[in-house]
Copies of this chain bind each other. A is one copy, B any other.
Amino acid sequence: MLTSTKQQIQHFLTKNEDKARLLVSCPDQPGIVSCISRFLYEHGANIVESNQYTTDHEEGTFFLRIVFASENMKEKEENLKINFHTIAEQFGMTWRMTFLHELKRTAIFVSKELHCLRELLYEWESGNLVTDIPLVISNHETARDIVESFGIPFYYIPANKDIRKEVEEKQLELLEEYDIDLIVLARYMQILTPNFVDRHPSKIINIHHSFLPAFIGANPHKRAYKRGVKLIGATSHYVTDDLDEGPIIEQDVIRVDHRNNVHDLKKKGRLIERSVLNRAVKWDIEDRVLVHKNKTIVL
């Protein structure tokens, strides 16, 4: 890691070492917020920020994101987790509690196009993506120089559909060795097998170079050009077994016109691909994203 990045991130960690985040989803019923807020109060924690949303169906689902602060958070961490377990059981909660003195560990996968990788590295170096990036994996050597210039180990694992199994075994080994929490496909042009995907539910973020569900699949810009659209898009989503069908985290579009050929669309598209992926990754790292019925709730 570069010195300036280290400092930026260290500064964030120090400033936030007494903060934690709680993410909850469960069937709605009266008393949930009351119970959670009493729990935090009794553990000496103060709620800094809180967002709640309940689906408005007959059988509503409750979603909550709380940022809370407490002196000596590190010492309380174990206790908070154990004690919250009881509440979670009572309400049938899916939940996680993260402590801001710990960094998430993010692996980036990339192929030959580097614009998304660059943006992530730049935003990371600027202290905007508060995470560790312990490694980058690629099926090409293209990204080696830039990755290593950031002091990040670079793993070149050639890949094609015939050796998918062996390739993924090597990748899985590395992910385990580096204890990875989040995988970002920053224009990684290989399809992942169900085996790989199923091991990382809502843990793999992809960027697709179209406004999904328009131009699902290959060559979206070519098809967008042919259709004569006036805007092109980019979509960041969690990867599931259905190609380009996973829960959408973020999307954006950019204006194009009759003067733009396919090559121009690609170039313009890159401008939004990188910002859309960057926002999606940032929100995931900040524990803002909940997945429910193949959709995301971003709190």
Contacts and interface: CB of A to CB of B under 8 A. Distances in A.
Secondary structure dominating the interface of A: mixed
A221 to B, nearest CB: 14
B44 A54 contact: no
B227 A213 contact: yes
A98 interface: no
Given A30-B41, A34-B40, A122-B118, A251 B228 contact: no
Contacts of A54: 47-49
Given A33-B50, A149-B149, A253 B231 contact: yes
A38 B215 CA distance: 45
Contacts of A253: 211, 231, 253
A46 B31 CA distance: 7
A100 to B, nearest CB: 14
Contact of A52 (B49, B115, B267): B49
A230 B258 contact: no
Contacts of A34: 34, 37-38, 40-41
A294 B115 CA distance: 32
A128 interface: yes
Interface residues of A, number: 60
B56 A44 contact: no
Contacts of A118: 122
Contacts of A115: 122, 126
A270 to B, nearest CB: 8
A285 B66 CA distance: 27
A275 B53 CA distance: 26
A10 interface: no
Interface in A21-38: 28-34, 37-38
A37 B33 contact: yes
A52 B47 contact: yes
Contacts of A79: none
